[in-house]
Amino acid sequence: MQATGPIRTFSTNRWLRAQARPVSVAAAAGVGYGSWATLTHYHLGMAVALKAGSAQFALSLTATLVLVMVLEQLFRWPSNSTRGFWLAAVGTSVLAAMWLIGGHVVAGTSNIALTIAPNLIIGTTVNFAYSSALLAHARRNADK
């Protein structure tokens, strides 16, 4: 039996399928990093812990969605793919750090460095890995 209606539309629409992955990854990042922030602030009381966790959830979710688009644009900006790699990897990592620090300052998070450390370490690693994959893809296509 074939799927009909919205299910069929979703399963056959390439654009929707492409958007589902980044949204799922962003939601997972928000839950994971928000939980970390809650855990690291639990000793200060539940209200403080939930405030830090909520801020980290929202910041991680939006940062994950937006930074992938920024990274790809920064990679394509220079005409040289090696320069694009460095601009994308470093530029996106710096933007992510600024976003997270600013958000936690606004939210009044008490221990910002401890709260964002896992996000920055993992995020910077992913930025470099993703930029490396873009560089490898660009070099393969340049050889054709």
Question: Do 47 and 100 sit in the same domain of this protein?
Answer: no
pLDDT for the residue numbered 99? 86
Q: Is residue 3 included in any domain, yes or no? A: no
Question: Do 89 and 46 sit in the same domain of this protein?
Answer: no
DSSP annotation string for 15-78: HHHHHHHHHHHHHHHHHHHHHHHHHHHGGG-HHHHHHHHHHHHHHHHHHHHHHHHHHHHHHHSS
What kind and span of H or E run contains 119? helix 112-142
Cα→Cα distances 5→11, 18, 21, 97, Å: 10, 19, 21, 42
Question: Do 87 and 58 sit in the same domain of this protein?
Answer: no
Q: Is residue 129 included in any domain, yes or no? A: yes
Q: Is residue 114 included in any domain, yes or no? A: yes
Q: Is residue 100 included in any domain, yes or no? A: yes
Tens digit of each residue's pLDDT (9 = 90 or more) over 93-108: 999 999 889 999 998 9
Question: Do 85 and 42 sit in the same domain of this protein?
Answer: no
> Between these two residues, 38 and 118, which has the higher pLDDT value?
38
Question: Do 82 and 134 sit in the same domain of this protein?
Answer: yes
Q: Which domain holds residue 36?
A: 10-65
Tens digit of each residue's pLDDT (9 = 90 or more) over 78-96: 999 999 999 999 999 999 9
Number of domains in the chain: 2
Q: Is residue 71 included in any domain, yes or no? A: no
Question: Do 95 and 60 sit in the same domain of this protein?
Answer: no
pLDDT for the residue numbered 37? 93
Mean of pLDDT values over 52-70: 89
Indicate the average pLDDT of the chain.
86
Question: Do 89 and 60 sit in the same domain of this protein?
Answer: no
pLDDT at 14 over 80: no
Question: Do 87 and 56 sit in the same domain of this protein?
Answer: no
Question: Do 135 and 96 sit in the same domain of this protein?
Answer: yes
> Has this prediction a pTM greater than 0.75?
no
Percent of the chain with pLDDT over 70: 85
Question: Do 88 and 116 sit in the same domain of this protein?
Answer: yes
Alpha carbon dihedral 97, 49, 35, 95, in 10-degree steps, equals -10
Question: Do 58 and 20 sit in the same domain of this protein?
Answer: yes
Question: Do 94 and 44 sit in the same domain of this protein?
Answer: no
